[in-house]
Amino acid sequence: MKKGESPPAGVVPVSSKEASMVLVEDENDVARLFNEASQMSPEDADVHIVLGVLYNLSREYDRAIASFQMALKLKPQDYSLWNKLGATQANSVQSADAILAYQQALDLKPNYVRAWANMGISYANQGMYEESIRYYVRALAMNPKADNAWQYLRISLSCASRNDMLEACDSRNIDLLQKEFPL
């Protein structure tokens, strides 16, 4: 509908606030339905995964973590699920726990770039910048086009007072960075 036009017959215009309240009600309904499904099918890991994602999106991190942990009991070899658990733990300011989950993901899939970068973020969130640098460099060695990881690396270099390596970061000299920060 273009600005200034009337809505079609039978359509009631709603404000964005009203629309967001409807959306929240729908999210709650979806979460309730999946919760019921998890009670009926407790062995269905996918139901627990969806619940975890829904709870994560609604910032109910403890419930999301519990859902992902239940799913991991059923699918312990799912590297992406370990990463989801780690990301949720990081969102709930449990960076130390997140590192353990990311390590599980990397044990299952050593070339999982997202988990390497997430490890860097978790170390940086704990003020462990030297350690975070190594993980960002490892992620960037696997995917040098990851612009966000370059930005995170630059921040960690600055926070670690490694201004001597900022030029290597800015020029994306991954070889020099790998020599300086092996993992």
In order along its 183 residues, the chain shows pLDDT tens digits of 444 555 444 444 434 343 333 344 555 665 565 556 556 566 778 888 988 998 898 899 999 999 999 999 999 999 999 999 999 999 898 989 999 999 999 999 999 999 999 999 999 999 999 999 999 999 999 999 999 999 999 999 999 999 999 999 999 999 999 999 998
**Per residue in 124-154, pLDDT tens?**
999 999 999 999 999 999 999 999 999 999 9
pLDDT reported for residue 31:
59
pLDDT of residue 8: 46
Question: Strands, DSSP E only, in the chain?
Answer: none
Q: For residue 54, what pLDDT is reported?
A: 87
CA dihedral 132, 93, 89, 120 (to 10 degrees): -10
pLDDT of residue 7: 45
List C-alpha distances in Å: 162 to 126, 157, 171, 181.
Answer: 18, 5, 15, 11
- Note the maximum CA span of the chain: 68
CATH of the domain spanning 102-183: 1.25.40.10
Q: What percent of the chain has pLDDT over 70?
A: 77
Q: Domain boundaries in the chain?
A: 102-183
Residue 32: the pLDDT is 60
Question: In one letter, which amino acid is 123?
Answer: Y
Q: Which residue has the tokens 């992406």?
A: 80
pTM for the whole structure: 0.76
